[in-house]
Amino acid sequence: AQSVTQLGSHVSVSEGALVLLRCNYSSSVPPYLFWYVQYPNQGLQLLLKYTSAATLVKGINGFEAEFKKSETSFHLTKPSAHMSDAAEYFCAVSSFGNEKLTFGTGTRLTIIP
């Protein structure tokens, strides 16, 4: 079985500050890991993914995430927050041959002007 835990259902950061959204996973097989972003009244958009290549993954909109096997973590970061980053962010896990994605409960990011 696979699972994802996102610490902090709400995170607020000031514009220009570092964004850090936490994700820990559990998987008995090598995982594939994903971050999705959801803007209000929209579907989920893929930000970035880890699929067993480089452990530091760069995504769209200046976001990146680092896969740390020893810590079972895949935290999402962005050096400088922008107002347009305000959204809900979901971490998800899957694996080779797995039809399904298992999602975390999401983190709502608020940017303070």
Partner 1 sequence: ETGVTQTPRHLVMGMTNKKSLKCEQHLGHNAMYWYKQSAKKPLELMFVYSLEERVENNSVPSRFSPECPNSSHLFLHLHTLQPEDSALYLCASRWTSGSRGEQFFGPGTRLTVL
Interacting residue ranges for partner 1, rule: CB under 8 A: 32, 34, 36, 41-46, 49, 51, 90, 94-96, 98-101, 103-106
Q: Is the C-alpha dihedral spanning 33, 26, 30, 52 positive or negative?
A: positive
Q: Considering beta carbons, is residue 78 or 104 the nearer one to partner 1? A: 104
SS3 57: strand
Query: CA angle, corner 12, sides to 8 and 18, nearest 5?
Result: 100
Least spacing, CB of residue 15 vs partner 1, in Å:
27
Least spacing, CB of residue 69 vs partner 1, in Å:
17
Q: Considering beta carbons, is residue 19 or 35 the nearer one to partner 1? A: 35
Least spacing, CB of residue 105 vs partner 1, in Å:
5
How far apart, in whole angstroms, are the C-alpha atoms of residue 54 and residue 61?
Answer: 19
How far apart, in whole angstroms, are the C-alpha atoms of residue 65 and residue 71?
Answer: 13
Least spacing, CB of residue 16 vs partner 1, in Å:
30
